[in-house]
């Protein structure tokens, strides 16, 4: 059996892992909002204010910290006033980005903000800069957050909500380099300054404004935006990067049927996230050495060809153990960069791209990716500890990756959480975690393990699910365990 060592310095706390790194994204796209999260109050599916209760419970269980809405590309054609007031009177519009279907606006600001209240998570609203006006965005902020006498606060009250909501995260424009307006970074940053100037802090609410950052490796975008904006204009910039196994948008690859070569291509393309975050971070360091401006990876995940027979505009895909490995690797990367990465949002929460939840009629299932968020949830708010792994590499001639990747953090009670993934398709690995400055009294944990192509279906919803992991032991002060091929573990070393 192969062996590897993870060395942890329990005395070296590197940065706090912002809970928002475990965030999600929900767009008016396919069946994410409608029939995914929202079924309407008259549905026979048990719901709370129209939102499925099973989905609410599942998201609460993984401690969803933040939910981004209403897009994505949809955000830049969304006019919020169409989504308030009496539902039957709300405007119907074309969802031009996603299948040209009718959007009836029955899920709008009130429904979203109430959903976030129910989930106990932060709302992250993406404002329309591409086709909306400065006034429209300014009035949305006033509508949501102002407690006094004003036209928008009165309108909100008329629509049944007396008290304002708290809104921290406000994105201004989505992919403004693409679907959000095809702008140059010079133009975007000027326009951003104009829009953000009129988004005010009302009634004790403090906005955390997020500017549109780069598409993947567009380092020039980051350079220009960072040169033109400072911490008074923006609290963070975003980054979007999707894992596409083939690298070809026209034939991305199947979600469930893939070769070993395609599997390792997926893993190695996911690990590119580390290079992206590092290099964008270096540019940010030049302009903001004190790291006052955060990096928010507000869209990430695997993007495959849609499931056969489904609407190509709906981006519905299955989710296998390969996706679980991808999720674990990405979360390890975000944790490792938590001095700069303050939030990340998996695309998307339900029924779209790398979802944590899939629904079909009244049925709901949890994907392998969901279980990784469950295994990792205790990293939220914990202190990242310095850790290093001497893993050997696996893969093919072209696509290589270290077999083991890890995150180690300390919680407020002084216990240590170790999460690790083994992306090898064939190697079991004996992992020894040496904990400098910490003597574990006990260790317990869970494991998610399956063949890379396994997934949960509506006929067999629990095929891939975590199990107790009894084989971790303490040997001479180290935590020692065996990871089967294609597995993710979460271990708590108790003090």
Catalytic sites, residue numbers: 175, 299
| DSSP-derived secondary structure letter, 305 | P
77 contributes a contact to ligand AHR by CB under 6 A? no
- The least distance separating ligand AHR from the CB of residue 238, rounded to whole angstroms, comes to 10
Considering only 111, 139, 299, 427, the residue that binds ligand AHR (CB under 6 A) is 299
Position among 145, 174, 228, 406 found at the interface with ligand AHR (CB under 6 A): 174
Q: What are phi and psi of 114, to 5 degrees?
A: -70, -35
How many residues make contact with ligand AHR (CB under 6 A)? 10
Decide: is 347 part of the binding site for ligand AHR (CB under 6 A).
Answer: yes
CB 177 within 8 A of CB 79: no
Q: What is the DSSP letter of 423?
A: -
Residues 70/112, Cβ–Cβ less than 8 Å:
yes
76 binds ligand AHR (CB under 6 A): no
CB of 75 to ligand AHR, least distance (A): 8
SS (H, E, C) 11-34: EEEEEECCHHHHEEECCCCCCCCE
Encoded one letter per residue, x for contact with ligand AHR by CB under 6 A and - for no contact, window 248-287 reads ----------------------------------------
DSSP 8-state code for residue 350: B
H helices of 230-314, in order, are: 260-287
Nearest-approach distance from CB 344 to ligand AHR, in angstroms: 14
402 CB contacts (<8 Å, ≥6 apart)? 389, 391, 392, 393, 394, 423
- Buried b / exposed e along 272-289 (16+ C-beta atoms within 10 A): ebbebbeebbebbeebbe
Give the per-residue contact string, 402-441, with ligand AHR (x = CB under 6 A; - = no). ----------------------------------------
The residue (of 8 and 353) whose beta carbon lies closer to ligand AHR is 353
User: Which residue, 68 or 161, is less far from ligand AHR as judged by CB?
Assistant: 68
Shortest distance in whole angstroms from residue 399 CB to ligand AHR:
24
**128/391 with CB nearer ligand AHR:** 128
Residues 352-381 contacting ligand AHR, CB under 6 A: 353
- 254/308 Cα distance (integer angstroms): 10
In whole angstroms, the minimum distance from the beta carbon of 130 to ligand AHR comes to: 11
- Applying CB under 6 A, does 245 fall inside the site for ligand AHR? no
237 makes contact with ligand AHR (CB under 6 A): no
Name the 3-class secondary structure at 220: helix
Q: Return the closest-CA partner of residue 25 out of 87, 68, 74, 58.
A: 68
Q: Convert residues 307-346 into a mask of x (bound to ligand AHR by CB under 6 A) and - (unbound).
A: ----------------------------------------
Shortest distance (Å) from residue 80 CB to ligand AHR = 17
DSSP string across 61-92: HTT--EEEES-SGGGGG--GGGGSS-GGGSPP
Which segment (70-78, 106-114, 189-197, 475-483) binds ligand AHR by CB under 6 A?
70-78
Compare residues 32 and 479 and give the one whose CB is closer to ligand AHR: 32
450 touches ligand AHR (CB under 6 A) = no
Decide if residue 288 touches ligand AHR (CB under 6 A).
no
**H/E run at residue 366:** strand 363-366
Tell which positions 12-31 bind ligand AHR, by CB under 6 A.
Answer: 27
| Measured CA distances, 110 to 83, 160, 262, 359 (Å) | 8, 9, 43, 23
The number of helices, as runs of H, and strands, as runs of E, in the chain is 9, 26
Contacts of 109 (CB under 8 A, 6+ apart): 80, 83, 84, 140, 143, 144
14 or 280: whose CB is closer to ligand AHR? 280
Q: Rule CB under 6 A: is residue 298 a binding residue for ligand AHR?
A: no
Q: Kindly tell me which of 146 and 304 has the beta carbon lying closer to ligand AHR.
A: 304
Task: Report long-range pairs for 94-97 (Cβ below 8 Å, ≥24 apart).
Answer: 95/28, 95/29, 97/29, 97/71, 97/72, 97/73, 97/179, 97/313
Give 190's DSSP letter. Answer: H
Q: What Cα–Cα distance (Å) separates residue 54 from each residue in 38, 111, 320, 329, 385?
A: 11, 17, 21, 28, 35
**Cβ 162 to ligand AHR shortest distance, Å:** 33
- DSSP symbols for 155-189: HHHHTT--SPPP--EEEE-SSTTTTTT---HHHHH
* 71 binds ligand AHR per the rule CB under 6 A: yes
Minimum gap (Å) between residue 30 Cβ and ligand AHR? 9
Indicate the residue among 71 and 127 with the shorter CB distance to ligand AHR.
71
72 sits near ligand AHR (criterion: CB under 6 A): yes
Stretch that binds ligand AHR, among 3-11, 66-74, 81-89, 403-411 (CB under 6 A): 66-74
Position of minimal CB gap to ligand AHR: 72
Tell me which stretch binds ligand AHR (CB under 6 A): 149-157, 347-355, 392-400, 413-421.
347-355
Length of the chain: 495
Q: Is 447 helix (H, G, I), strand (E, B) or coil?
A: strand
* Least distance (Å) between residue 99 CB and ligand AHR: 12
Q: Which residues contact ligand AHR by CB under 6 A?
A: 27, 71-73, 174-175, 299, 347-348, 353
């Amino acid at each position: 059996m192969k062996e590897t060592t993870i060395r942890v310095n329990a005395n070296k706390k590197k940065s706090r892992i912002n809970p928002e790194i475990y965030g999600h994204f929900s767009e008016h796209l396919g069946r994410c909002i409608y029939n995914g999260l929202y079924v309407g109050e008259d549905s026979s599916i048990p719901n709370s204010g129209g939102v499925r209760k099973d989905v609410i419970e599942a998201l609460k269980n993984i401690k969803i910290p933040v939910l981004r809405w209403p897009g994505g590309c949809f955000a830049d054609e969304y006019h919020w006033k169409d989504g308030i007031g009496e539902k039957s009177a709300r405007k119907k519009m074309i969802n031009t980005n996603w299948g040209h279907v009718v959007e009836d606006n029955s899920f709008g600001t009130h429904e979203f903000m109430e959903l976030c209240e129910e989930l106990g998570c932060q709302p992250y609203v993406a404002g329309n800069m591409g086709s909306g006006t400065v006034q429209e965005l300014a009035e949305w902020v006033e509508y949501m957050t102002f407690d006094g006498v004003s036209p928008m606060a009165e309108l909100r009250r008329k629509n049944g909500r007396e008290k304002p909501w708290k809104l921290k995260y406000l994105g201004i424009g989505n992919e403004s380099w693409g679907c959000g307006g095809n702008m140059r970074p010079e133009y975007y940053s000027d326009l951003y300054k104009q829009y953000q100037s009129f988004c005010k802090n009302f009634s004790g609410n403090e906005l955390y404004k997020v500017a549109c950052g780069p598409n993947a490796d567009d380092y020039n975008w980051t350079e220009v935006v960072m040169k033109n904006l400072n911490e008074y204009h923006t609290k963070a910039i975003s980054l979007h990067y999707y894992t596409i196994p083939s690298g070809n948008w026209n034939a991305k690859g199947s979600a469930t049927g893939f070769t070993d070569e395609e599997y390792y291509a997926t893993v190695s393309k996911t690990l590119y996230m580390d290079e992206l975050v590092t290099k964008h971070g270096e540019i940010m360091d030049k302009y903001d050495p004190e790291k006052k401006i955060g990096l928010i990876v507000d869209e990430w995940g695997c993007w495959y060809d849609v499931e056969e027979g489904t609407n190509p505009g709906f981006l519905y895909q299955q989710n296998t153990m390969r996706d679980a490995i991808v999720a674990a690797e990405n979360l390890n990367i975000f944790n490792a960069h938590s001095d700069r990465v303050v939030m990340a949002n998996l695309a998307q929460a339900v029924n779209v791209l790398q979802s944590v939840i899939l629904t079909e009629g009244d049925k709901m299932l949890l994907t392998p990716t969901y279980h990784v968020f469950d295994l990792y949830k205790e990293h939220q708010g914990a202190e990242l500890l310095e850790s290093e792994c001497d893993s050997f590499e696996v893969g093919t001639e072209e696509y290589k990756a270290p077999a083991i990747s890890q995150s180690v953090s300390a919680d407020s009670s002084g216990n240590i959480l170790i999460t690790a993934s083994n992306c090898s398709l064939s190697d079991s690995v004996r992992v020894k975690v040496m904990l400098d400055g910490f003597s574990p009294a006990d260790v317990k944990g869970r494991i998610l393990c399956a063949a890379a192509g396994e997934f949960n279906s509506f006929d067999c919803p629990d095929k891939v699910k975590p199990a107790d992991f009894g084989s971790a032991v303490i040997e001479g002060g180290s935590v020692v365990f065996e990871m089967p091929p294609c597995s993710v573990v979460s271990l708590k070393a108790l003090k």
